[in-house]
Amino acid sequence: MRKPLVAGNWKMNKLVGESLALVNALKPLVKDVEGVDIVVCPVFTALHAVADALKGSNIQLGAQNCFTRESGAYTGEVSPQMLKDAGCTWTIIGHSERRQYFNESDEFLNEKLRFALASGLKVMFCIGETLEERESGRMNDVLVRQITNGLMGLSEADFDNTSIAYEPVWAIGTGVTATPEQAEEAHAFVRGLVRDQFGEAVADKVRIQYGGSVKPDNVASLMAKPNVDGSLVGGASLKADGFAELVRKSL
């Protein structure tokens, strides 16, 4: 049985004070939840303060991105070592917004993924197709490419610290959610790809999260599907009560 992983991606929202208010409101609402791994991913500027606020709680801290070097002349970038120093145990890599707005390729994301894992961070690695790719019948081809190129070189042990987040781009921030059946179809396909490339043991243990307009009122139907192992939540993670409800409905 794979333990559900529910992560809140705050994107470019919340100043430090607002971030602290959110996690301080969230902590008591989920303090008795034991069957779900809970992660929040604030902006870089709030990480250290939020890490302090989360000490002793059952909520883990993640970042939204990282670079491929420990240090050096890379203006504007943040290394996995810096994220760990700030208190992170997780990072998101490959979010569709990074792919779309910053032109991050599968090969570059694979480099990021492998360096983050080697540096001791856990990674939520994002994949997913656009609406045009789905409607033109290329969804499977896109997922094959993103899995094959994005996860290249990983060992079986690496998957202890890697989750895959399937996020159909057409459902992110649009209010449109893949039906539970659509999500299950994609997740089962992805797990099959992992099985083909990395073996049965890896396919059985890797967690595949769903992302894309996940809300308290649809998460239970998504989680009821056998290949949906959690969620990567955007807007619904920005309010403590709603995110706490979503976590509880993920059990």
Name the pLDDT band for 134 (thresholds 50, 70, 90): confident
Amino acid at 228: V
Instruction: Note the maximum CA span of the chain.
Output: 49
Mean pLDDT along residues 4-24: 98
Q: Which residues contact 57 (CB under 8 A, 6 or more apart)?
A: 27, 31
The tokens of 210 are what? 């769903």
pTM of the model: 0.97
Q: What is the pLDDT of residue 34?
A: 96
Which of 188, 207, 182 minimizes the C-alpha distance to 90? Answer: 207
Mean pLDDT along residues 6-14: 98
Name the pLDDT band for 174 (thresholds 50, 70, 90): confident
Which domains are delineated in the chain? 5-248 (3.20.20.70)
Distance CA 123, CA 199 (A): 20
The answer to which of 81-90, 109-118, 125-134 has the lowest mean pLDDT is 125-134
Give the catalytic positions in this structure.
95, 167
pLDDT tens digit sequence for 181-227: 999 999 999 999 999 999 999 999 999 999 988 999 999 999 999 99
Judged against a pLDDT cut of 80, whether residue 8 lies above it is answered with yes
DSSP 83-98: HHHHT-SEEEE--HHH
Q: Which residues contact 249 (CB under 8 A, 6 or more apart)?
A: 216, 219, 220, 223
| Mean pLDDT, the chain, whole residue set | 96
pLDDT tens digit sequence for 42-101: 999 999 999 999 999 999 999 999 999 999 999 999 999 999 999 999 999 999 999 999
The tokens of 66 are what? 């990282």
Q: How many Cα neighbours within 13 Å face the side chain of 203? A: 16
DSSP-derived secondary structure letter, 222? H
| Residue where the block lists tokens 């890599």 | 93
